Amino acid sequence: EITVKWAGSHPDNPLVKVILRPGMQMQYLTTHEPDDAQMECAIAAMQTVLAREEAEAARATDATEAIAAS
């Protein structure tokens, strides 16, 4: 953590570039833009989460109204 903070505050330092290079190369190799199938899966998952959150919020509102009415 200390190294990351120090490196972030000294991005032009040649030593920082040498120290961070292996990690940046690994990140380059292991990350890529998602393909269409991955995007479709992510959208479907988000829609499911949003629907569940809306249902939970509606139940909470109904419960609050029921308590207030009694």
For residue 33, the 8-state DSSP code is: -
pTM greater than 0.75: no
**Domain boundaries, given as residue ranges, for the chain:** 1-32, 33-70
| pLDDT tens, position by position, 7-52 | 888 888 898 888 888 988 998 888 889 999 999 999 999 999 999 9
**Do 39 and 45 meet the contact criterion of CB atoms below 8 Å apart?**
no
Q: What pLDDT sits at residue 56?
A: 95
- pLDDT band, very low/low/confident/very high, at 1 (cuts 50, 70, 90): low
Q: What pLDDT sits at residue 49?
A: 98
| Burial bucket for residue 7 (CB in 10 Å: 0-12, 13-18, 19+) | middle
